[in-house]
Amino acid sequence: MKAVFVHLSDIHFGQERDGGRDALNADAKQQLIADAGIEISKLGVKATGVIVTGDIAYSAQDHQYAMAGKWLAELTSAIGCDQTDVQLVPGNHDIDRKKITNSIESVLYSIREGGDRWLDMHLDSPQDCDRLYDRFDAYKGFALDYRCELDLNGGISTSAKLELAEGRAIRFVRLNTALICSSSDDEGKLILGARQRILPTEDGVEIVVLAHHPLNWFQDSDKARGFLRGRARVFISGHEHFPSLDVVRVEDGCDLMMLAAGATAPDEINGPFTYKYNILTFEWDEAQDALAVTINPRTWNAEMARFERDDVFMEGHAERQVLASPFFRKAPKPPNIDPAKLSVPELIEESSEETIQTDMNEESGIVLISEQLATIEATPPSEPQPTQDIRDLQIRFFQELSEAQRGAAFIAFGVVTQLKGRIDHGMERRLFRRAVRQGKADDIEQMLNAAKTEKGGATL
C-alpha cells in the first residue's frame, strides 16, 4: 500500500504586510492546491494526508490559524483525504511573541545556558511548565482538532500507526523544537531535551520524525542524533527555507533519510527562496523488506507562474529511496498479497475508544447544569471514537466561531448554565463533545451554516 502525503512547511499565514504581497502569496497557495490535486491524481490514489513541519502562522494569532484551517480544508478536499488527516508540529512563528515578557525571556536564557538540567527543572515545576507552554496557546487549540496535541511536559507526541502492509507500518513522532525559542534565536543554541530525544521502538514499525528546526539548531544535537541514527528512518524538518536531502548509511542494514523542506511562503521569493512543497510517498518495498520513500519536489516557476517539478533539487538523487529498515526485519515478514486488493492506508488507532474528561466544576470557571454533573467521578467513562463527520464539525465549530460565540453556544445548547472567565482549549473541546453526546450535532451544524450565511458565504 502507498501512503501519499502533501508535505508543507513555513506557510506563515498572516505574514503579509501589504496588499501586493498578500495577493502574490494567496495566488501561490491556490496554485499549490491545484498542482497537488493534479499530481496526486496522476498516482491513481487518494492522498493519505498532509504533513506540516511548523510555522503554520506568522505570529500565532487565532485569526491566522482560522485562515490556515480554511486553506487546509480546501487542500485536503482537493487531494481526497479527510479534513483532519493532517500531521502538525509547531515552529518558532507558532509562538505568541507578545507573551514573551522580560521574565519569560530570562527563563529561556537560563535554560539555554543551563542545558538539560535547567530545562528539566522548569518542566518538573507545574507552574514553570505552564508558563513555557502558555506561548503556544493558540497553536494548542488548532492542533487539538487535528489530533496533534502537544505533549505539555516537554515530551514527544506520536501518531497512530499507518499500516503499509501486514506487520509493516510507520509512525509519525512529532517534536516541539520551538519549546525554548525566544524573540530571536541563534543557530546551535536551542535544546530538545532528554524527553524529546528518546524515540520509541517497536518491531515492524519504522519511525518518521517531524520537526521544525534541523538538528544543527540544537546544542544537544549530538545526543539527539544518536537516537535518530539508532531508532528513526526519516527525519523531516523546515525552518531554513532551503530544501536538502541526504540519505545516511548508519551501519550495514540501517539507513536514515534527512529531508529539509523549502518554505511554502518564504520571507523572500527571489533566487533560491521561492514557494516550495513536496509530495511524499511511503510504501513497503517487499524485495528488500524496507521502507521506500518517493519524493516529488515541487517549486514555483516565476516565468510561468506555476508549480513544477524541482529537477535541480533531485539532481544526484534517485526519486525513490529504499531505506534499509532494521525494525521491519525484526517482525515476521508479511504474506504475499495481491496489490490490486490493497486499500488506501489509514491510521490505525491504538484503542477503539477515546476518553473524554467530564469532571468539570466551579473551580474551572464553569457553572454546571446540575449538582449531579458536578459530582461526576474523577475517572470518566470512555466513549467510542467520534465519527469523521463529528471531527469535521468540531474543526468548523472552533475555526468559524469566536471564543465568545462558542461560549454562547454552550449555554444555548444547555451544556452549561453560564461561563465565568476564560476556559482552556481542552475544556472547550470536552464541552463540545458533551453537546454532541446530548444530541446537539444537528443544531451545531445549523448554527454554523446560519453564521456563514450571515457573513455572506455559502454554506457547506
Mind listing the pLDDT tens digit for each residue in 99-119? Answer: 999 999 999 999 999 999 999
- List phi, psi (to 5°) of 233: -110, -30
Q: Which of 15-29, 153-167, 240-254 has the lowest mean pLDDT?
A: 15-29
The answer to whether residues 125 and 106 touch, using CB atoms and an 8 Å cutoff, is no
Query: Is residue 233 one of the residues assigned to a domain?
Result: yes
Total structural domains within the chain: 2
User: How do 382-384 and 353-355 pair as beta strands?
Assistant: antiparallel
Domain boundary among 319, 341, 363: 341
Q: Are 334 and 415 in a shared domain?
A: no
Q: How many Cβ atoms from other residues are within 10 Å of residue 14's Cβ?
A: 20
Domain contains 460:
no
Span of 19-28, 59-68, 226-235 with lowest mean pLDDT: 19-28
The two beta strands, 86-89 and 2-8, are unpaired
In a domain, 459, yes or no: no
- Band of residue 127 on the pLDDT scale cut at 50, 70, 90: very high
At residue 189, the pLDDT reads 93
CB atoms within 10 A of CB 261: 28
Q: Are residues 92 and 238 in the same domain?
A: yes
Q: Are residues 328 and 407 in the same domain?
A: no
Percentage of residues in the chain with pLDDT exceeding 90? Answer: 73
Residues 237 and 379 in one domain: no
Identify whether residues 413 and 445 lie together within a single domain. Answer: yes
pLDDT tens per residue across span 265-305? 988 777 778 999 999 999 999 999 999 999 999 999 999 99
Q: What is the pLDDT of residue 455?
A: 72
Question: Is 167 found in the same domain as 133?
Answer: yes
Cross-strand pairs, 209: 173, 235
- How do residues 180-219 score in pLDDT, each as one tens digit? 999 888 899 999 999 999 999 999 999 999 999 999 999 9
Q: How far is CA 8 from CA 29, 252, 420, 427, in A?
A: 11, 32, 39, 30
Grid cell at residue 439:
444530541
Q: Do residues 289 and 381 both lie within one domain?
A: no
231 in the same domain as 366: no
DSSP state of 54: S
pTM across the whole model? 0.89
188, 236: one domain: yes
| 444 touches 409 (CB < 8 A) | yes
Q: What is the pLDDT of residue 456?
A: 67
Cell triple for 180? 525554548
SS3 at position 278: strand
Confidence at residue 453, expressed as pLDDT on a 0 to 100 scale: 80
CA distance to 177, 188, 257, 456, per residue, from 214 (Å): 9, 10, 13, 43
pLDDT score, position 418: 84
Contacts of 313 (CB under 8 A, 6+ apart): 243, 245, 297, 299
Percentage of the chain exceeding pLDDT 70: 89
Which of 320, 341, 362 corresponds to the end of one domain? 341
Tell me: do 79 and 196 sit in the same domain.
yes
207 near 170, Cβ under 8 Å? yes
